[in-house]
């Protein structure tokens, strides 16, 4: 299935991806392309769908954990627990098809984001530039990573780094909030009184994976940058904290690791969302939790090695050798 998608998007991309602002101006008349931090416009290409072709969600509904009937135990969810608020689970089965959820938790406006091509799942505070932003999907990629946009200024934002790269908000950084991916079973056990996001009212094949076998591929989709160093496979998962990256294989071997001021724990039981045709049947890749010396959750990301190398070319690889 993924091979068919790859061929289709490659053909489509070749037809529409002209990397210059003049070509995009009709679709983006309010975007200030004169203000940008892009070294070369050739870095930005179409991922296939156009603006909002992947529809972001806003103000989703939630229901209690006890009422959930769709999720399988090993399915991945993004967990967000802010300031004593009831923890919320955002299932990857929905984020695979929508990539961004604009929500408000305990008065804090948040954007829960997921880029399947980089496996990057990050939550941001939507307050920036003196206001509250709401985010959508541009349909553009840079280093295979999703480029978001805000409706208020039509600026473009790089999801992996949470930073404005084109438009009025160029250089503005979103504050990343602590959230993590874990299995539905883990969330349910830890948060019996928690909330889980409702199924969106869209005609999508929720629970299926349109990127079948992607994370066992030899090369990333729509990425032409350099491979990671140290012989690390481009699609190996790494845990990023700041500008440091720990290979998931090392963490799975150790279980718990205390290094560089953080404690990273790995537990089995979470299915890969990018493996089998059905997300719940993906191979077990385990789940990660990152805490500081006081036991507080630390903002982090679990992304593919090629994406870390692309956005942190001078980053530190924590190989433990």
Q: pTM to 2 decimals? A: 0.94
| Residue ranges with strand state E in 260-315 | 262-267, 287-291, 301-304
* DSSP code at position 134: -
**Burial letters for 167-191: b for 16+ Cβ neighbours within 10 Å, e otherwise?**
bbbbebebebbbbbbbbbbbbbeeb
Q: pLDDT digit of tens for each residue in the chain (321 aa)?
A: 454 444 444 434 443 445 689 889 999 999 999 999 999 999 999 999 999 999 999 999 999 999 999 999 999 999 999 988 999 999 999 999 999 999 999 999 999 999 999 999 999 999 999 999 999 999 999 999 999 999 999 999 999 999 999 999 999 999 999 999 999 999 999 999 999 999 999 999 999 999 999 999 999 999 999 999 999 999 999 999 999 999 999 999 999 999 999 999 999 999 999 999 999 999 999 999 999 999 999 999 999 999 999 999 999 999 997
Q: Name residues whose C-beta falls within 8 Å of residue 70's C-beta, 6 or more positions apart in sequence.
A: 93, 199, 206, 207
**Under 8 Å between Cβ of 275 and 119:** no
Neighbours of 110 (CB within 10 A): 22
């Amino acid at each position: 299935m993924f091979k068919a998608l790859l061929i289709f998007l490659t053909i489509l991309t070749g037809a529409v991806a002209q990397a210059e602002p003049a070509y995009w101006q009709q679709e983006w008349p309010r975007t200030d392309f004169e203000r940008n931090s892009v070294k070369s416009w050739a870095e930005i290409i179409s991922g296939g769908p156009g603006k909002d072709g992947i529809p972001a969600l806003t103000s989703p509904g939630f229901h209690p954990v006890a009422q959930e009937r769709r999720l399988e135990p090993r399915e991945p969810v993004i967990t967000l627990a802010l300031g004593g608020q009831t923890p919320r689970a955002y299932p990857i089965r929905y984020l695979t098809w929508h990539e961004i959820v604009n929500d408000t938790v305990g008065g804090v406006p948040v954007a829960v984001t997921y880029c399947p091509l980089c496996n990057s799942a990050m939550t941001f505070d939507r307050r920036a530039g003196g206001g509250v932003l709401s985010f959508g999907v541009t349909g553009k990629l840079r280093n295979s990573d999703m480029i978001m946009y805000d409706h208020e200024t039509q600026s473009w934002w790089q999801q992996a780094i949470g930073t404005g790269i084109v438009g009025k908000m160029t250089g503005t950084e979103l504050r990343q909030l602590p959230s993590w991916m874990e299995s539905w079973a883990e969330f349910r056990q830890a948060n019996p009184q928690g909330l889980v996001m409702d199924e969106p009212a869209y005609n999508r094949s929720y629970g299926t994976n349109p990127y079948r076998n992607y994370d066992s591929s030899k090369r990333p989709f729509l990425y032409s940058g350099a491979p990671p160093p140290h012989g690390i496979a481009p699609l190996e998962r790494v845990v990023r904290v700041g500008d440091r990256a720990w290979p998931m294989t090392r963490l799975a071997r150790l279980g718990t690791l205390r290094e560089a001021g953080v404690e990273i724990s790995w537990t089995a039981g979470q299915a890969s969302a990018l493996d089998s045709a059905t997300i719940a049947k993906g191979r077990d890749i385990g789940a990660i939790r990152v805490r500081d010396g006081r036991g507080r959750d630390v903002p982090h990301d679990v992304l593919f090695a090629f994406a870390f190398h692309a956005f942190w070319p001078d980053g530190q690889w924590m190989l433990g050798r």
